[in-house]
A and B are shown apart, each in its own frame.
Chain A
Amino acid sequence: DTEVTQTPKHLVMGMTNKKSLKCEQHMGHRAMYWYKQKAKKPPELMFVYSYEKLSINESVPSRFSPECPNSSLLNLHLHALQPEDSALYLCASSLWGLLNEQFFGPGTRLTVL
């Protein structure tokens, strides 16, 4: 299995909702990442997990809460989001960490009403 999967593909939520994005890989990678991508812009790094521990948080607002329950799974919990948080959220993984090439999932298209 050489892919990163993300669910759901699309998500529409209100500003008071709580939802979660899920990312999974079975390549034995020990580093996983969340990126946010606005339309016509490059991805922006949000979080990095290395060996299931949060190693980088790029000053992301606390309404985004990452979780890495095991080496194959990465979640992003969402609460009290703003309309400007609407974007494509990409998950990626790499073998050990930042020095290895990253494999990206297809993304979750999030719309906040």
Chain B
Amino acid sequence: AQSVTQLDSHVSVSEGTPVLLRCNYSSSYSPSLFWYVQHPNKGLQLLLKYTSAATLVKGINGFEAEFKKSETSFHLTKPSAHMSDAAEYFCVVMNTGTASKLTFGTGTRLQVTL
């Protein structure tokens, strides 16, 4: 079985300050992990993915995430928030076993203020 927990439903930061969106996962197998972003009334865009290579993953738009097996975490960070980063962020886990499906977290809404 697999599951993912996004610890914050809503995060608010000021423009130019760091962003931290937290994600913990549970997986019976070696997982693949993803972060997707969804802007209002839009589809999901892949920010970055971890698939058992380097534990520090760099994605688009300055985002990165670190896979920490000992903590079962995959937190998303960005050094400096921009107004355009305001969106919903989903942490997603996928087992590498057969017939694996994506399991989505409940999402974190990022608000960026001036």
Contacts and interface: CB of A to CB of B under 8 A. Distances in A.
Contacts, number: 47
A36 to B, nearest CB: 12
A85 B105 CA distance: 22
A13 interface: no
Given A40-B107, A41-B106, A42-B106, A56 B44 contact: no
Category for how many chain A residues contact B: 20 to 34
B44 A104 contact: yes
Given A45-B102, A98-B99, A99-B100, A90 B41 contact: no
A106 B94 contact: no
A45 B101 contact: yes
A91 to B, nearest CB: 8
A109 B41 contact: yes
Given A104-B43, A106-B43, A99 B96 contact: yes
Nearest to B34: A101
B74 interface: no
A102 interface: yes
B45 interface: yes
Nearest to B105: A42
Contact of B43 (A40, A42, A90, A98): A90
Nearest to B99: A98
